[in-house]
Amino acid sequence: ESEDANVVYTEGTCTQMCPEEEILDLVRLNEVTAIEREDFNWRPNWKLRDMAVKRFHKSASDGQELSIPRLVRTPATLHKSWEYMKKHILDHDKDYDPRHKNNRFKHYEIEGYVRDRTKSINKDWSMQGYCDVQERLHPTCLNQIEQFARYHISNDHELCEEDKSHFQQQLN
């Protein structure tokens, strides 16, 4: 941890897109999302550890301590997480995928997943103090926040015509 003007920041040390502890919990609780599920026939070399991206957790939710360095991803890992999602998740609703019951993910399912994971990335940047424009702004952090905003604005526009059970405009 480092201290900057009486503010304590956590320096992340996690180099996986999803910390090992969270992966073990997801498996143990049977909460692996379909989009992160392994399918050895479809993508034989893809493992859960290669596809799972850390979920968003509210501060101190479920009594879980969030500021433990091994649970906070490094700047390079935050960059890797977003690059992975851009390459393999964002337009995935157009692709065949046998992990989904209908062999294709719906646009709103992708959006819900990405919204949660981008909130998690923002949280890790914030816990390390890299979102502070006055003190520690990290160039990759700024770039990602801009890309997140553009992505979500574009998707909210596309999804506003969806059934209200899939998209709640007042929340977005």
Query: Mean pLDDT in the chain?
Result: 84
Q: Is a pLDDT exceeding 50 seen at residue 172?
A: no
Q: Which of 51-55, 57-61, 115-119, 136-140 is predicted with the least confidence, judged by mean pLDDT?
A: 57-61
CA distance 156 to 118: 15
pLDDT number for residue 171: 45
**125: pLDDT strictly greater than 50:** yes
As a whole number, mean pLDDT of residues 132-146 equals 82
Per residue in 47-79, pLDDT (tens digit) is 999 999 999 988 765 556 778 999 999 999 999
Backbone φ and ψ for 2, nearest 5 degrees, come out as -120, 155
pTM for this prediction? 0.84
Per-residue pLDDT band for 170 (boundaries 50, 70, 90) equals very low
CA dist., res. 170 & res. 93, Å (int): 24
Judged against a pLDDT cut of 60, whether residue 133 lies above it is answered with yes
Q: Based on the number of CB atoms within 10 Å of its own CB, is 48 exposed (0-12), middle (13-18) or buried (19 or more)?
A: middle
CB-based contacts of 17, cutoff 8 Å, min separation 6: 52, 53, 54, 73, 77, 80, 81, 84
Residue 162 in this model has a pLDDT that exceeds 80: no
CA distance 21 to 6: 30
Mean pLDDT of 125-140: 81
Kindly indicate the confidence band of residue 103, based on its pLDDT and cuts at 50, 70 and 90: confident
